[in-house]
Amino acid sequence: MFFIPAGIIPVTTPTPILTPIEARVLATLMEKARTVPDSYPMSLNTLVLGCNQKTSRDPIMNISDAQALTALDELKSAGLVREASGSRVARFEHNFQRGIGVPEQSAVVLGLLMLRGPQTAGELRLNTERWYRFADISSVEGFLEELQDRAAEKGGPLVVKLPRAPGAREQRWAHLLCGPVDLAALAAADADAAQPGAGASMLLQARIDVLENEVAQLRATVHKLCEELGLPLPPPVSPRGQD
């Protein structure tokens, strides 16, 4: 047993505050490690494609290679990402669980919150199916409550339970890895989503998301094969509605 001399306070490492881009890069690495292990660790090209997916992302982003590299440098300095060795092309992998000091189940919940924005415990259980299978919603709620009640000496809370949105039956949870949640901006987004016709639009977007997710995974596989074979990478596809 170790004893701490009187008057000496143990030093703790505070949880790093991430930028939205750093959170997206980190969460994308966490996602792909579990959902497409054959393409992991990730090259910069496949990582940027994953960050900019139109599916399973909230908000949708358009991150450049330079922005992703800057985020990777910051995440490496924080001990949350490391560069894999033994590859001709630079590849990156996350170190989230050890870097933040949480178990796998908590890491899964935090990763999904970083990727998809605030969600209820039920939504999280459904959305984590490909990452980790929770026994039931109460299991998800248990890990969320642990993250909310995380002691100050461990870095403090990592999630917060949000006020109930108008018309919603359940409260949502949000992560705190990017700092406190902007409740005013969140309320404005909820109001926009509640406009007439939003339900049909969301259904259509969900169908588009499924197709775009499949295309993104195929594109990542093609990029990996080109890199391994030394072939030129295919040109990027223009966004919808642009030449």
Can you give the pLDDT at residue 243? 45
Query: Domain spanning 102-180: which CATH class is it, in words?
Result: mainly alpha
> Could you tell me if 46 and 39 are in contact, meaning their C-beta atoms sit under 8 angstroms apart?
yes
pLDDT band at 212 (very low <50, low <70, confident <90, very high): low
CB atoms within 10 A of CB 27: 25
Can you give the pLDDT at residue 229? 76
Q: What is the pTM of this model?
A: 0.75
Question: Taking Cα atoms as reference points, which of 137, 131, 83, 82 lies closest to residue 110?
Answer: 131
Can you give the pLDDT at residue 136? 95
Can you give the pLDDT at residue 221? 75
> Could you tell me if 63 and 48 are in contact, meaning their C-beta atoms sit under 8 angstroms apart?
yes
Calculate what percentage of the chain has a pLDDT beyond 90. 62
What does the domain layout of the chain look like in residue ranges?
20-99, 102-180, 195-235
Please report, for residues 60, 176, 179, the alpha-carbon distance to residue 187 in angstroms, rounded to integers and kept in the order given: 18, 17, 17
Lowest-confidence segment of 72-86, 101-115, 208-222 by average pLDDT: 208-222
Is residue 146 classed exposed, middle or buried when 0-12, 13-18 and 19+ CB atoms within 10 A define those classes? middle
Which tens digit of pLDDT belongs to each residue from 15-63?
A: 899 999 999 999 999 999 999 999 899 999 999 999 999 999 999 999 9
Asked, as a colleague might, if the bond just before 59 is cis with ω within 30 of 0, I would say: yes
Task: Tell me which range, 159-163, 192-196, 208-212, 231-235, is most confidently predicted by mean pLDDT.
Answer: 159-163
Which tens digit of pLDDT belongs to each residue from 104-159?
A: 999 999 999 999 999 999 999 999 999 999 999 999 999 999 999 999 999 999 99
Please state which of the four CATH numbers 3.40.50.300, 2.40.50.140, 1.10.10.10, 3.30.200.20 is assigned to the domain occupying 20-99: 1.10.10.10
Residue type, 120: T
Strand locations in 32-109, DSSP E?
Answer: 42-43, 81-84, 91-94
Question: Taking Cα atoms as reference points, which of 50, 4, 23 lies closest to residue 181?
Answer: 23
Question: Taking Cα atoms as reference points, which of 43, 63, 40 lies closest to residue 51?
Answer: 63
> Could you tell me if 124 and 175 are in contact, meaning their C-beta atoms sit under 8 angstroms apart?
no
Can you give the pLDDT at residue 34? 95
